[in-house]
């Protein structure tokens, strides 16, 4: 049974604007690239993922991505811009039996997290994997025949569950540690530790090169 993964990347210069309080533009862009590299590498290494699709806004080039079974698309190829539109563009073009829609800001994503999500999809269940607060959804696995709409955005975890009920789609929730720990707010940077074996290699290298502790300390003192 074929499984393909879909990752959408915003215009690089506009990504993670909420981190601007503690990171300059170069640091922020480099972090976004590093996390995307870790997520894509993890997906491409997984034995059950056949192809990884990445839909890119402006500022992304193929040479920043790991080598492997990856297909790059431009966001402009979709009829309208936006995360959900980018995801659904690939869904319309893919013949895979299952599609895993997953965010790119998950530097702790591991093989076991992906395996847990895939395993939960057996018996034709959709799978929802929330963030730590269980307000957002960081991954959705959907079978091709299912009409479950994607509801990424504010309060998406509750909205995805409601959408599944309305569509009469069977679903399961998987609380996977590597899927839950995204980096979106300045305080999320505090959980990054270059010595953490679960942290992706690219993000760990960024952390060492950036000396993030100095940047955060200076910001906290300024406040």
Per-residue pLDDT of the chain (223 residues; tens, 9 = 90+): 799 999 999 888 889 999 999 999 999 999 999 999 999 999 999 999 999 999 998 999 988 998 889 999 987 665 556 889 889 999 999 999 999 999 999 999 999 999 999 999 999 999 999 999 999 999 999 999 999 999 999 999 999 999 999 999 999 999 999 999 999 999 999 999 999 999 999 999 999 998 765 444 444 433 3
Confidence at residue 215, expressed as pLDDT on a 0 to 100 scale: 45
Confidence at residue 80, expressed as pLDDT on a 0 to 100 scale: 58
For 124, phi then psi, to 5°, come to: 60, 45
Among 118, 138, 126, which Cα is nearest to 179's?
138
pTM of the model: 0.91
Token pair 């997984």 is at which residue? 46
Confidence at residue 14, expressed as pLDDT on a 0 to 100 scale: 86
Q: Is 73 helix (H, G, I), strand (E, B) or coil?
A: strand
Beta-sheet strands, E only, within 96-205:
98-102, 126-130, 137-143, 171-173
Distances (CA, A) of 73 to 3, 58, 100: 18, 11, 16
Confidence at residue 66, expressed as pLDDT on a 0 to 100 scale: 87
Distances (CA, A) of 126 to 156, 165, 175, 207: 15, 11, 14, 35
Residues 111 and 128: their CA atoms lie apart, in Å, by 17
């Amino acid at each position: 049974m074929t499984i393909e993964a879909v990752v959408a990347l915003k215009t690089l210069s506009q990504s993670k604007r909420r981190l601007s309080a503690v990171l300059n533009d170069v640091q922020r862009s480099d972090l976004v690239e590093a996390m995307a590299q870790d997520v894509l590498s993890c997906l491409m290494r997984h034995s059950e993922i056949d192809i990884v699709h990445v839909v890119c806004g402006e500022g992304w080039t193929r040479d920043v991505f790991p080598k492997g079974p990856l297909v790059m698309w431009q966001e402009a190829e979709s009829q309208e811009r936006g995360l959900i539109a980018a995801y659904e563009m690939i869904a319309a073009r893919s013949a895979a039996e299952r599609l895993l829609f997953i965010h790119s800001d998950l530097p702790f994503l591991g093989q076991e997290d992906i395996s847990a999500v895939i395993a939960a999809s057996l018996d034709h269940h959709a799978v929802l994997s929330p963030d730590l607060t269980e307000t957002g959804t960081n991954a959705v696995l959907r079978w091709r025949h299912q009409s479950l709409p994607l509801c990424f955005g504010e309060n998406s975890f509750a909205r995805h569950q409601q959408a599944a009920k309305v569509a009469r789609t069977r679903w399961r929730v998987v609380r996977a540690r590597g899927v839950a720990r995204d980096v979106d707010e300045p305080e999320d940077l505090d959980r990054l530790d270059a010595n953490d074996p679960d942290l992706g290699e690219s993000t760990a290298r960024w952390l060492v090169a950036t000396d993030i502790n100095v940047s955060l300390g200076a910001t906290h003192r300024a406040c």
